[in-house]
Structure 1
Amino acid sequence: MTVLSDYTAALAQPRLDPAPTRYDELVGADGALRPAWRPLLDVALRLTAGDLARVDTDIRHALADDGVTYAAPGRGVEPWRLDPVPLVLDADEWTGLEVALAQRAELLDAVVADLYGPRTLLRDGVLPAPLVLGHSGYVRVMARASAADPHPLLLTATDLGRTGDGEWRVLADRAQAPSGLGYAMQNRRVISRVLPELYRQASPHRLAPFFHALRSSLLQAAPGDPASPRVVVLSPGPHSETAFDQAFLASTLGFPLVQGGDLVVRDGAVWMRVFEHLERVHVILRRVDAAWSDPLELRAGSRLGVAGLSEAVRRGTVRVVNGLGAGVVENPGLLPYLPAAAQHLLGEDLRLDSVPTWWCGDEANRRTVLGRLDELEVRRIDGGRVGGGRDALRKRIEAEPHLYVGQQPLPLSQAPTFGRGPGAVGAGGAGDLLEAYAPASGAVTPGSVTLRTFTLLHGSSYRPMVGALATVRERHDGLQAARSVSKDVWVLKRDAADPDQHLAHQLQPAYTDASAAVLPRTLDDLYWFGRYVERAEDTLRLVLTAHALAEDYRTRPFSSGGASLAVAWKALHDLCPPGRPVRFDDPAVREELFGDRLDAEFHAVLLDSDRAGGVAQSVAALRACAQGVRDQLSADAWRAFASVERSAAVLATSRHSHQVEEAGGRMLNGVLALTGVVANMMRDPGWHMIGAGRSLERVLQVARLLRSTVVERRGLDTDRRVLNAVLGSTESVVTHRRRHRGYVKVGSVLELLLLDPANPRSVVSALADLRGHLAAMPASTGSTRSERLLDELGERVESVDVRALVALGGARRPHLDHFLADLVAETARLSDAIEALHFPAGPGPRSFAQLLPRGAGSDDLLVEAGGDG
């Protein structure tokens, strides 16, 4: 039998557990497939466990290749998880839901407009004042006529779950800064590639037209009807829970991804800092919570927002989407009052019921909640679930009843999910690295489903996206897993000729001539991108060189070859300090190092993210820089990162010595692929800043390597091997051999690596490249401090006498040591000057983790509201 046949047969078996009846998204109560799945019968029922295992592996590789991540609260950045079995809905079922979602978005928009405008809902007692005014999402500075917006909600999200009889219920509304659209589109891209036959058979509504409509709506939202409106996506930063989602959205829509420091308010309007001038911003698609959006009038000290933004909104010079204060309708205490609000504002019955909810600010409701604490979930009106025993919950509710609600958990519907097995979920440590690449071994089991739907104000009406983002909570052996997995949602067409998203007759997005902008913060990230990619490459080459020496001399620690290996290790320790100094001249240390500890040290340099200057740390920092400019990098960059991470994952599972060379070589290929990605970028200031970072880091790496290896004299045989290792780690062996016919000496190596302008690995060549990159920057004048320092440094290097550098003073070369030390120090000073001129001025931003409490700046995609039964 195939997996879906097995799943259907398992559901038909009688059950002894008392769990409430759950609606199954695949199989009906009569044991037959749901109508939505019947057109897919031929293809779907042929899927075997092996097929799904292959598809699951392809999915994880595809997501890794695209760099799709999610920073789960409390767990840090993790690979995005996508189940291979889609959630399929037919056209008849979706039509009714679509109407109800459009009505709900219209109602929420009217509620926000009323609460910040005439406030008739409060005046007429439709909504209790303590419920609204006691919610942190109510932004009082926007409750004035000058800030009135007839349609404050352009994009809303609604989280849904099914009851046992298959009826949809609202679990939560998302209006603050709805997230998940990017993940939904990414899920569709991946599933359509890995299950092409099933996707073609289903032919669900494509999602791309919804993104076209979103872009058009944002452009049309600009106040004052400018000729070329500037729209930006305001992000909390690359450490946000949904950083990928934000960057994906910005890239897909073609709008700059900015952070608070990239914007400034001048003369009552919002401007974007672009080099040494400002560009007017008309629309801000906000992914920062309102409380953090303006440190002047809202949360003091926030670095995530823009000082004066509230005033600009009140003046009508900028449109913020969604409006500041929209988060007030995310209050779960509003759910039982929305039917009355619908009658009051729309004159209609509310079509979509919510999960049963009781607001404790009402005395009768409070008695109900206190009497049912064992069966209800208690939540704060502006937060998540509240834990603790009955007595603790009772005390909290009685102390501040208006801040709490009780909700009836729903027996959410279930859907077939290809599980990974309990051991693969929440493994932590090395398990997080391996999860994206380990082969799957699970089976198809039921998991509880929630749905996030999206609705857009397009033209004069609200249009739900025909599709959604589903989240499934996996369960293994009756236990709920530590993590959840997403599903692609397919809404089938009633007729194959139906237009996707019902938008065939809508106008295409308006053309705008807003030029691409490279922000100073972006230049900062790109500069360090260049530095880290060079650092990772140079460290990997040194590891491979040291490993080659180890393969020859690890059993002969006191030979000249063993001495050269110790020098290579000293260089690695100088460039990648392990946290405690190691005395390589100590025979006991050397003997221990050449024993079992040797491979462990190679693994540490390659895999330990806490090893300063190590490959893992450099790649992690490189990826963080790339995440900050994700909207400007091609997808090839993320495939290169995935190649590096796959190689690291393989090495993490093996302690065989040969794997160091194999995995290190593949990691080097991945880093070199990033260099190829950069080579194909537009020759704009961002590209020049990457080149500047690479050139400067190359100078530092060569100087530090030479200082660790060549300054001391150790004997002819040892020095010869050390010099060959230096040439190998700087990719200069072939050039030196061609020029000097294999005869290696200190002077020829220094000439090649310091002074040869034809050698791209030389210091002189790197400084020349750096000079060209800086000259191309708009802020450069030819006489800036960074250019002056660079000229002085170049002149000093070019005028150095190699014969003086190689002169011995005892067992050392003091002139060379002094020259290289000065070269490192002057290069570091040059870097500071570059940053001061080309990057944002003022104090650096605070750590996002320090500034942002859980939930600020984004909302959880893994729905908690409504429970799981």
Structure 2
Amino acid sequence: MTVLRDYAASVIQPALGQSAALYDEVASPDGTLRNAWKRLAAEAVDLTLPELTRVGDEIARLLADEGAVYTPPGGAQRSWRLDPVPLVIAAEEWATLEKGLAQRAELLNAVSLDLYGPQELLSSGTLPPSIVFGHSGFLRVVARASADHRRQLVVTGTDLGRTPTGEWQVIADRTQAPSGIGFAMENRRVLSRVLPVAYREAGLHRLAPFFQALRASLTQAAPHGRENPRIVVLSPGPTSETAYDQAFIATALGFPLVEGSDLVARDGSIWMRVLGRLERVDVVLRRVDAEWSDPLELRGESQLGVTGLTEAVRRGTVTVVNGLGSGVLENAAMLPFMSAMCERLLDEPLRLAGVPTVWAGTREGRDQLLDRLDELVVRRIDAPFEVAGLSRAELVAAITAEPHRYVGQEVAAVSVSPTLDRGRLQPHAVTLRAFTLRHGSSYRPMIGGLATVAPVGTSPDEISTSKDVWVLKESPEEPDQGLLDTAPVAHARAPLTPVPRVLDDLFWLGRYAERVEDLLRLAIVTHELAEDFQGRPRSSGGQTLAVVARLLRSLSPSSHDSVDFEGDLRSMLLDAHRSGSVAQTVARLKEIAQSVRDQVSPDLFRVFGAMDRARGALAANPHGWQIGESAGRMLTDILALHGVTGNMVRDEGWHLMEIGRGIERSLQLCHLIGPTLSVRRGIDVDRNVHNAVLQAAESAITHRRRHRGVVRGASVLDLLLLDESNPRSLLFNLRAIDASLATLPGSSGSTRPERLVDDLLEELDRLDVAALMAIDGENRPNFVRFAQATAQQLMRLSDAVAEVHFATGPTPRSLAFATVGAGS
């Protein structure tokens, strides 16, 4: 029997205990598959447990290669998780849910317009004023009569669960900055790759048309019907909980992913900083919570927002999606009043009921909440929501002091769905986040969504395992997402210039990528020497090993014993806390790549996935040979990264990345040749050291071909410093830097970076290799001075590039100059 049919048959067994009373998404009460699953092809239904496990492993690998990550609140970043068993919903079930979702979005939009407009809900008593004015999401600064009223909700999220009878129930509304659309699309992309036949034959609604509709809706949201509007995605930054989701949307829609420091207010409008100019911004897809969006008028200590954004919104020069102040609609205290508000504003009954909720703002509600304190989930109406840290007495005192700030909710009813957990299918509680888009003059739900699962009895907030949502079509001819075509969008070529912050990140992306490559090459050389000579320290090879290992430790200081070469190399490859290690540098490289995800190819993250697997193999294998094997695989992977970036458009970002790479390669060359070639150690040792240097600089074959195997210090320096055809030489890289600098806006031929490069090139033009190799005792003082001076000049060049091409004005500072006391 296949694993899903076996699971379905098991639901009638008493062993399921607690989950037996819950609605099961796959199995009917009689132990057969539900109709939606019966319609799927055999490839989806007849999977065996080994096949399903293999699919789960493949999913994990693909998600790692995509760099899909999530940071749970208060936790550490971790890989996004996707279960191989999708949540399948039949067409007739979805049709009923779709009507409820569209109505709910329309209702929330009407409530928003009323609360920031005539406030008839408050004056009529339909909604108690303390629910609104006592909630931090209600922003009085945008509720002025003079403010522009383009406040429609463009995107909403609705968290849903099924009751035991199979009816959908609203758990929460997400209107502030609904997250998860990007994750939903990522889930679909991955599952369609690991289950291609099942996906192809299932007859599902594709998600791509929803993204096209989203793009059209954001374009149409531009103020005053501006043609070819500039749209940006405003992110809190790469450390945000849903940074991947934000970057995915920006990439999919083709909009710049910006942070608050990338935008500036001028003359009542919002502008984006680009090299040498400002570009007008018309629409901001906001992923920063409203209270943090403007340090001038909202939260003064915020460094995430844009000073002056609120005034621009009031003037109607920019549209913020969703509008500032939309967070008040997430207020759980509104749930008991949704039906009455629907009757008043839409003149129709509410289609989707919410979780039964008691608001303590009335005497009856407070008494009921206090009487049922042990059976209800108590929450504050706004952040911080949780009250778990309070004792019963403290909670009673808090509710009594400010009853309008608390609600009690019955435990949300949710269904269960089979989930691969510890090698077998187990019933996990599942919730669905559905998304609804204002498209044209009405609201259209995404036919699909993002499902989240957690073991029954645990909090979904603690688990981030997700499911793809498969909504079956009623007929094959039905258009995807019910959209025959999206509204036409005027075609215009958008400028490619990234903001200075992104240019800075790309510059360091180039530097760190080169640094990893050079460290790995040196590690491989060290390992090869250690394999042969660590037991013969007095031999010429052993002395060479000591020189190279000492150099490696200078680049990445180590606490390992000087003769523990294997332990030292393992540490450098695996220890992310070791200063300058490969692991630490790769971690920084991945952070930067996440922050510029909208600028780079997804292939870049497959490189990181492969590097992680190579490190994992080393961590799992104690044998010494695995060090060289893993280092070699990681080197191959980082070289693939260079190939990926080689396919980027040759814009300012690419040129700055190449400048960063050239500076780092030149610096690493100085670090390599400075300590190794500045001392005479004897003929045999010198020859071995020279060969090690050539190998670490990826120039051994070239040198061998040109000099027929005869290795001398002068010939090594000539190849590594002055050979204009050698991509590893200092001269080659300085000329490449000079050429890229000339392409950048603001470069005039006389800027400081260009002058510094000219000085370096002139120094090389005057360089006498024989004079560099002159001996004074055992040392070469001329060479030492040259290597040190060149490294210092390269560091000055790096700083000058930052000053000229990345400067965006002063760093945002908190406007909260004093702490306000509790009684103020």
How high is the TM-score relative to the length of structure 2? 0.96
Aligned length: 812
Partner AA of 1:395 in structure 2: A
Which of 749, 752, 775 is the aligned partner of 1:782? 749
In structure 2, C-alpha distance between the alignment counterparts of 1:158 and 1:311, rounded to whole Å:
30
Q: What is residue 801 of structure 1 aligned with on the other side?
A: 768
In structure 1, C-alpha distance between the alignment counterparts of 2:406 and 2:776, rounded to whole Å:
78
**Residues 463-506 of structure 1, C-alpha deviation per residue, up to 9 Å, x if partnerless?**
00111100001369x99996331000011111111111111154
Using the TM superposition, give the Cα deviation of residue 577 of structure 1 relative to its aligned residue in structure 2, in angstroms: 2.0
Partner AA of 2:399 in structure 1: I
In structure 2, C-alpha distance between the alignment counterparts of 1:506 and 1:770, rounded to whole Å:
45
Using the TM superposition, give the Cα deviation of residue 37 of structure 1 relative to its aligned residue in structure 2, in angstroms: 0.8
Partner AA of 1:164 in structure 2: P
Using the TM superposition, give the Cα deviation of residue 742 of structure 1 relative to its aligned residue in structure 2, in angstroms: 1.6
Partner AA of 1:279 in structure 2: E
Using the TM superposition, give the Cα deviation of residue 846 of structure 1 relative to its aligned residue in structure 2, in angstroms: 8.3
**Residues 630-654 of structure 1, C-alpha deviation per residue, up to 9 Å, x if partnerless?**
1121122121221111111211211
Partner AA of 1:816 in structure 2: F
Contact 2:150 2:319 in 1 (8 A): no
Using the TM superposition, give the Cα deviation of residue 135 of structure 1 relative to its aligned residue in structure 2, in angstroms: 1.1
Which of 526, 533, 538 is the aligned partner of 1:558? 538
Using the TM superposition, give the Cα deviation of residue 706 of structure 1 relative to its aligned residue in structure 2, in angstroms: 1.4
Other structure's SS at 1:145 match: coil
Contact 2:378 2:408 in 1 (8 A): yes
Contact 1:141 1:297 in 2 (8 A): yes
Q: What is residue 385 of structure 1 aligned with on the other side?
A: 386
Other structure's SS at 1:378 match: strand
Contact 2:44 2:198 in 1 (8 A): yes
Q: What is residue 718 of structure 2 aligned with on the other side?
A: 751
In structure 2, C-alpha distance between the alignment counterparts of 1:512 and 1:95, rounded to whole Å:
37
In structure 2, do the counterparts of structure 1 residues 372 and 475 end up closer, same or farther at CA, with 3 Å as the change threshold?
Answer: closer
Asked if 1:233 corresponds to 2:214, the answer is: no
In structure 1, C-alpha distance between the alignment counterparts of 2:253 and 2:811, rounded to whole Å:
29
In structure 2, do the counterparts of structure 1 residues 189 and 289 end up closer, same or farther at CA, with 3 Å as the change threshold?
Answer: same
**Residues 244-264 of structure 1, C-alpha deviation per residue, up to 9 Å, x if partnerless?**
111111111111111111111
Asked if 1:447 corresponds to 2:428, the answer is: yes
Q: Sequence identity, in percent? A: 55
**Residues 51-109 of structure 1, C-alpha deviation per residue, up to 9 Å, x if partnerless?**
11111111112112222111222222211100000000001111111000001001111
**Residues 500-548 of structure 1, C-alpha deviation per residue, up to 9 Å, x if partnerless?**
1111154344434433332211111110111011001000100111000
In structure 2, do the counterparts of structure 1 residues 333 and 606 end up closer, same or farther at CA, with 3 Å as the change threshold?
Answer: same
Equivalent positions of 1:619-630 (< 5 A) are 619-630=586-597
Using the TM superposition, give the Cα deviation of residue 32 of structure 1 relative to its aligned residue in structure 2, in angstroms: 1.9
**Residues 755-804 of structure 1, C-alpha deviation per residue, up to 9 Å, x if partnerless?**
22221111111111110110111110000111111111221233222222
Which of 595, 611, 623 is the aligned partner of 1:644? 611
Partner AA of 2:28 in structure 1: G
Other structure's SS at 1:820 match: helix
Using the TM superposition, give the Cα deviation of residue 305 of structure 1 relative to its aligned residue in structure 2, in angstroms: 1.2
How high is the TM-score relative to the length of structure 1? 0.91
Other structure's SS at 2:146 match: helix
Equivalent positions of 1:584-623 (< 5 A) are 589-590=561-562, 593=563, 597-623=564-590
Equivalent positions of 1:262-281 (< 5 A) are 262-281=262-281
Superposition RMSD on alpha carbons, in Å? 1.9
Using the TM superposition, give the Cα deviation of residue 16 of structure 1 relative to its aligned residue in structure 2, in angstroms: 8.1
Q: What is residue 53 of structure 1 aligned with on the other side?
A: 53
Which of 462, 465, 487 is the aligned partner of 1:507? 487
**Residues 346-378 of structure 1, C-alpha deviation per residue, up to 9 Å, x if partnerless?**
122111111111122222222222222222211
Which of 413, 427, 448 is the aligned partner of 1:467? 448
Equivalent positions of 1:106-505 (< 5 A) are 106-149=106-149, 151-383=151-383, 384-388=385-389, 389-419=391-421, 421=422, 442-474=423-455, 483-505=463-485
Other structure's SS at 1:444 match: strand
Using the TM superposition, give the Cα deviation of residue 274 of structure 1 relative to its aligned residue in structure 2, in angstroms: 1.6
In structure 2, do the counterparts of structure 1 residues 626 and 185 end up closer, same or farther at CA, with 3 Å as the change threshold?
Answer: same
Which of 658, 663, 673 is the aligned partner of 2:640? 673
Q: What is residue 731 of structure 2 aligned with on the other side?
A: 764
Contact 1:219 1:231 in 2 (8 A): yes
Other structure's SS at 1:118 match: coil
Other structure's SS at 1:224 match: helix
Q: What is residue 524 of structure 1 aligned with on the other side?
A: 504
In structure 2, do the counterparts of structure 1 residues 44 and 603 end up closer, same or farther at CA, with 3 Å as the change threshold?
Answer: same
Contact 1:138 1:325 in 2 (8 A): yes
Partner AA of 2:619 in structure 1: A
In structure 2, do the counterparts of structure 1 residues 532 and 602 end up closer, same or farther at CA, with 3 Å as the change threshold?
Answer: same
In the TM superposition, structure 1's runs of 4+ consecutive aligned residues that sit over 6 Å from their partners are: 478-481
Partner AA of 2:596 in structure 1: V
**Residues 431-456 of structure 1, C-alpha deviation per residue, up to 9 Å, x if partnerless?**
xxxxxxxxxxx111111000000000
In structure 1, C-alpha distance between the alignment counterparts of 2:352 and 2:459, rounded to whole Å:
31
Other structure's SS at 1:40 match: coil
**Residues 92-144 of structure 1, C-alpha deviation per residue, up to 9 Å, x if partnerless?**
11111100000100111111111111111222222222221121111110011
Contact 2:452 2:460 in 1 (8 A): no
Partner AA of 2:465 in structure 1: V
Partner AA of 2:202 in structure 1: A
In structure 2, C-alpha distance between the alignment counterparts of 1:480 and 1:346, rounded to whole Å:
33
In structure 2, C-alpha distance between the alignment counterparts of 1:129 and 1:780, rounded to whole Å:
59
Q: What is residue 731 of structure 1 aligned with on the other side?
A: 698
In structure 2, C-alpha distance between the alignment counterparts of 1:162 and 1:636, rounded to whole Å:
39
Q: 377-386 or 247-256, which moves further after superposition?
A: 377-386
In structure 2, do the counterparts of structure 1 residues 845 and 20 end up closer, same or farther at CA, with 3 Å as the change threshold?
Answer: farther
Which of 544, 553, 576 is the aligned partner of 1:573? 553
In structure 2, C-alpha distance between the alignment counterparts of 1:223 and 1:830, rounded to whole Å:
43
In structure 2, C-alpha distance between the alignment counterparts of 1:19 and 1:181, rounded to whole Å:
29
In structure 1, C-alpha distance between the alignment counterparts of 2:462 and 2:127, rounded to whole Å:
38
Contact 2:11 2:20 in 1 (8 A): no
Contact 2:180 2:245 in 1 (8 A): yes
Using the TM superposition, give the Cα deviation of residue 712 of structure 1 relative to its aligned residue in structure 2, in angstroms: 2.6
In structure 2, do the counterparts of structure 1 residues 525 and 290 end up closer, same or farther at CA, with 3 Å as the change threshold?
Answer: same
Q: Which runs of 5+ in 1 are unaligned?
A: 422-441, 583-588, 848-869
In structure 2, do the counterparts of structure 1 residues 837 and 480 end up closer, same or farther at CA, with 3 Å as the change threshold?
Answer: closer
In structure 2, C-alpha distance between the alignment counterparts of 1:204 and 1:149, rounded to whole Å:
38
**Residues 830-861 of structure 1, C-alpha deviation per residue, up to 9 Å, x if partnerless?**
111000000033444689xxxxxxxxxxxxxx
In structure 1, C-alpha distance between the alignment counterparts of 2:10 and 2:678, rounded to whole Å:
73
Q: What is residue 547 of structure 1 aligned with on the other side?
A: 527
Contact 2:497 2:652 in 1 (8 A): no
**Residues 232-253 of structure 1, C-alpha deviation per residue, up to 9 Å, x if partnerless?**
1111111111111111111111
Q: What is residue 821 of structure 2 aligned with on the other side?
A: none
Asked if 1:12 corresponds to 2:17, the answer is: no
Using the TM superposition, give the Cα deviation of residue 150 of structure 1 relative to its aligned residue in structure 2, in angstroms: 5.1
**Residues 672-721 of structure 1, C-alpha deviation per residue, up to 9 Å, x if partnerless?**
11101121111111111111000000111000111232223332222221
Q: What is residue 857 of structure 1 aligned with on the other side?
A: none
Partner AA of 1:797 in structure 2: L
In structure 1, C-alpha distance between the alignment counterparts of 2:462 and 2:97, rounded to whole Å:
31
In structure 2, C-alpha distance between the alignment counterparts of 1:220 and 1:698, rounded to whole Å:
47
Using the TM superposition, give the Cα deviation of residue 733 of structure 1 relative to its aligned residue in structure 2, in angstroms: 0.3
In structure 2, do the counterparts of structure 1 residues 16 and 693 end up closer, same or farther at CA, with 3 Å as the change threshold?
Answer: closer
In structure 2, C-alpha distance between the alignment counterparts of 1:118 and 1:237, rounded to whole Å:
36
Partner AA of 1:462 in structure 2: Y
